[in-house]
Each structure stands twice: as structure tokens, then as C-alpha cells.
Chains A and B, each alone.
Chain A
């Protein structure tokens, strides 16, 4: 079992004729992902790696029954590409693109609230159900089938923690990289809810970092609704305060949230142990599963 993605998922790759789109479409197919179409304006009628390319996502849905898109479109056009996937009534859109202007994402976020499509990302590595399918750029070989759900704001940190788990023989149901941008689709709370409802997920890893208040919100949600044991990690304990957050951004909430300390203590208060190192997180998961 898994959440969001499995071997029935029918994928359209937006931007499949670009370097990244082509390479990762191929990698996804090699992993076993059911890539049924590409969508690139002006490139309809071509084939990439044996996959038919359409001019629009709507056509890919009509002709190939695509239900999920993975977006490898350059930042200037990626906001529009996400709008297109939302307008095509897909179940899931995964935006890999890094560097989409924040104001474009604010508009996407508004539209998202009016549709039934779920968005993962942007600026994320995607998600993977080991042994079934991967959507995005994650290195498939480090993952293993198993019973741990993983959600992370950071791509490479996901790899680091997964590597520690897999090396101990602990596999994953699904791993979701939600992305580190200020405005994202699926957040920690959404992912935790999915894992809580998945009967095959017996433990959850949640990797956060400094900035924003998503981890604090997740901690409150865990306290109220999550029975599955959760182990946490927070990156940025030693990051200098004030270096990354803009002036006005820091005063929106007007409270001492957003720091590593506030996130760790919120998680601890919700009964979530937070490891000092990725290995300690794996130790904790091992203990949960013992």
C-alpha cells in the first residue's frame, strides 16, 4: 500500500521535450512509472522515448487518460503550467521546477483552493512509492519497499534519511518531498493525514527546517489526530537568525516561531522525538518498529 502514487498512476510529463523532462521521464519509466504522455505547446505529434507528446494537458487527458502530471517547465512558464494541470481536473500535479516567482505561486494557491487537484511542490524532488512508481527526480535505487512514511521539506535531506533507513533494512511506503518554497501545495499536515489513514504505514519520519510555521502546525495536528508514531528532524539549528527571512516577513506572525528551537519544542510537546542527526532519526524509527 501507499499514498498518492502507485503503479496505476497515469502520468503526463509537462515539458518532456526539455533536457530535464526527457531525462527524468526516461528515469521514471525505467523505475516502472506509467508515463502515458508528454505535454509541450508546439510539440504535439512528436514522440519522446516512445511516449506520445500533445500540445496541451487537456489533450493528454482526453487521449491517454492521464490523471497525474509531473512538471519540468522553466520557472517563467511553470506557474502557467500548474494552472493548466489544475484546469485539466487531474488528481495530482507534481511541480519539480525551482525558482517560480512567489507571486505566481500565490495566484496558483488561490486557484488550487477552488479545484480538487492536489499539488506537490514546487521546488521539490517529487514522491516515490518504492517498487511501484516514482514521480520526479528522486534517485530510485536508495529506496526500499516497507512500512515507513516519509515527508520532507528538503530533497537531499530526504535522500540522507532514506539512505540511513534502507541501510538498516527499513523500507518505505511512500516518501514525499513537499518542497521548501514559501508557498507550496501539499504541506506536512496533509501528508501526515494521508500516512495516518494508510493502514500499511507503521511509522512516519518528518523532516523540517527553520523558517515558516509549518512544523509547529504539524506538531499541533500530530498531538490531536495522529496515532502512528512520528520521528522528526529539524535542519538549521546553527543557522544564523535573520539571515534568510526578510524584514517584513519576520513580523507577520509577531511571535517567536520559525526557529529550530520552537519547532523542536513544539514537536517534543506533541510526543515526537527529534533526532540530533539523521542516524538518530533512523535509531528512533527502528525502536518504533521493534
Chain B
């Protein structure tokens, strides 16, 4: 779960990390009032969950009321890489001399948290990592002890941060780790961490991703989730139904159980000349209602021309799957898109007996099911 910038900044500020003065606004008058109160120049920043907001026109620096009004009017309501902008953060523009990067994440290869510091902040840090990996200092943390102060200092000195701000950057890094640890962070990042002409450091952006699996013990952050949710209609629907869902460009809808098997189904659609419209994993042990919800999701995508259902039951039962498919399809006078079903594993025979074969096409193997769905999708486009 990713927090919005304004939410992450609030969490960081509450922990004691310096952030610029800012206010959230959802209309032009509110944005202008906020700018007047903070004092020019201010940055007006679209609050949507996409990278590269600045380049896409979602962040504007303004010097006067007229400019603030114009910028707020332009940004509010705009469509930014598919996301509707309905809120802006109006923020004090920091006069800086230098930009740094600090971040904490889990290094899955090491199975340990890692703190990262770079003097190449303010730019796309992924490109830095790719082209000049040595420009990012990395310090692994033993999760049973937490970050020692010397480790924060070491990372900061290894990165070549200037002496004049080293102590403050170390302190920000230590606080960021504590925050990451206390709040079950997946990633916590500040890019850029700006250095002012007075040698003060200030977090000009804030990224906080929370481990979804730990939200049960982070009630305060879980409350932010509803606000943080967004994205397109289908992705919101997937959130409501609690599916792992990714929308793609193609026209063959895909539903399966287990991420590896669903990905394999996508790959086979591609292999047989089709294009996957989505990734949808119903997870383990799905009951009939969940299966019906999955079909509802995929039918809601106008790009979908055919659907392939691939279930290999372990903990998931074929009879429940078949019930769900029947329930979802029996409500239509005419099935909106052809559905191909492949059931294997636990209770597949019971499932096949229940499944209403007037409504779907049944295939025995994964390969046959995928090929049939690809054929159906191709027929629609002929």
C-alpha cells in the first residue's frame, strides 16, 4: 500500500523529519488561499500515485496569486498518466544548494533491511542505480538490533555527503529507519532531501510503501488506505474484491489461482499469438462468490474479447469454482464474452459435473484452453 505524498510527509513530519510547510487543497480557491498563507514561491503538486509527475505537468512552481490560480486550475482535474487529479499539495518552495537521496528497503537477496544514501538525489535514482551503482552507499541492518548510529554515519560518509550536513543527514536516516521499522514499511524514501544555503536538510518529497500483510497492526495507516486508493475504475474494483489484479493492453481476459500459474497462463496466451488483457489471481481456497466476482471484474473491462479460466486446485476446490462460474453466467440472457474453462486438481471431477457446459467452453489441458481463448478473441477482431 502506497501512501500519497501528503500522507507520507505527515507521517515523516510527525516522526521529526524536517518537511516544507504545506497544505492540501481540493479546489482552486483553496489552493490559492494556501499559497497566500504559506508565502510565495510555492510548488503546486498533483497528488496521484505515479512517478514523473513533474515532467507530465503535474508539478508547477509559482510566484504570485495569478500564477497560483492558473496552475491550480490546470492541475486540478487533469488526467495524469491515467489518474484523475482531484487534490494538490501546495508547498513552500525550498531554496536549495544540493539534493541528496536517502531510502530504506528490504533487500530480499540478503533477507535484511538496507539503508541507502546517495549524493545524486533529485533525479531518477533507478537510473543512477543502473548506470553508476557505486554512487549509492548501502548499509545492511540486522533486524534484531535495528540501525546503530554508527551505521547511519557510515552510510552517509561512504556516500560522500558533505561534512557540514553529515550529522543532520545521519539523523534523518536513523529516524527514517525507525519509522520504517515501527510502521512496517516496505520502502521509505526521501528524494530529494534538499540541502539549503544555511546547511539545513529538508524532505522535499516523501515516499512510503507499507507492507500490506502488516496492515492489521497498523490501524492508523490502514485508515489512510481508502484515501490512498485510486487508479482506474477496474483497479479500484479489484481493491474492493481484494484481488491481485494488473490491467494490461491486450484482449484475452485471464483468471487463475496462484501468481505463478496465472503468469504462466499470460505467457502461454502470448506464446499462442494472443495478448493478455490482465493478470487476475483469485488466490488460494476461493469460494463460489469470489469466482463470480473475478468474472465480473474481467467482463467489466471493455477491451476483453474472451476469457480463459485456469484453475489447478490444491487448496482451491473445483466444485466451488464451477458453482461460481455458473452463478456469474446464469444471470445473463446472453453471455457477454466467450469463456473457456480448464479445471484440474482438487475436486475437478465434481466441478466438471456441476459446470453448466451450455455457458462455457471446456478444455482439458492448459494449452488447449489458452489456444481456444486466443482463437475466440481473434474471431471478434476479424
Contacts and interface: CB of A to CB of B under 8 A. Distances in A.
Do A and B bind? yes
A154 B213 contact: no
Contacts of B133: 254-255
A46 interface: no
Most chain B C-beta atoms within 10 Å of own C-beta, residue among A20, A100, A209, A236 = A236
Contacts of B211: 101-103
A103 B136 contact: no
A152 B260 CA distance: 9
A77 to B, nearest CB: 11
Chief secondary structure at chain B's binding surface: mixed
Contacts of B344: 159-160, 163
Interface string A222-252: 0000000000010111111001101111111
Contact of A237 (B105, B187, B270): B270
Contacts of B104: 248
Interface in A166-206: 180, 182-183
B312 interface: yes
B225 to A, nearest CB: 16
Given A103-B214, A107-B143, A238 B267 contact: yes
B58 interface: no
Most chain A C-beta atoms within 10 Å of own C-beta, residue among B113, B144, B213 = B213
A210 interface: yes
Nearest to A239: B263
Interface residues of A, number: 64
A160 B217 contact: no
B312 A254 contact: no
B130 A107 contact: no
A107 B146 CA distance: 10
Interface string A112-150: 000000000000010000000000011100100000000
A18 interface: no
Contact of B105 (A75, A101, A246): A246
B159 to A, nearest CB: 14
Interface string A244-267: 101111111111100000000000
A249 B108 contact: yes
Nearest to B276: A238
Contacts of A30: none
B178 interface: no
A210 B263 contact: yes
Interface in B101-116: 103-109, 111-114, 116
Contacts of A137: 314-315
A153 B263 CA distance: 12
A106 interface: yes
B367 interface: yes
A98 interface: yes
Contacts of A110: 111-112, 142-144
Contacts of B246: 239-240, 243-244
B114 A155 contact: no
B109 A157 contact: no
Interface stretch (B22-30, B84-92, B251-259, B298-306): B251-259
B347 to A, nearest CB: 9
B136 A76 contact: no
Contacts of A76: 216-217
Contacts of B116: 248, 251-252
A75 B211 CA distance: 13
A235 B312 contact: no
A250 B114 CA distance: 12
A239 B279 CA distance: 8
B248 interface: yes
A180 B187 contact: no
Contact of A106 (B112, B136, B216, B314): B112
B305 to A, nearest CB: 17
Given A156-B256, A156-B260, A247 B207 contact: yes
A153 B260 contact: yes
B213 A100 contact: yes
Nearest to B315: A137
A44 interface: no
Contacts of B13: none
A106 B143 contact: yes
Interface of B: 51, 103-109, 111-114, 116, 125-126, 128-130, 133, 136, 138, 142-144, 181, 184, 186-189, 207, 209, 211, 213-214, 216-217, 246, 248, 256-261, 263-264, 266-271, 276, 279, 283-284, 312-315, 344-346, 366-367
28 contacts: A76-B216, A99-B213, A101-B211, A102-B211, A103-B113, A103-B143, A107-B143, A107-B144, A109-B111, A110-B112, A110-B143, A125-B314, A139-B314, A152-B260, A156-B261, A156-B314, A163-B344, A183-B108, A212-B109, A236-B266, A239-B279, A240-B246, A248-B116, A248-B188, A249-B186, A251-B103, A254-B136, A255-B130
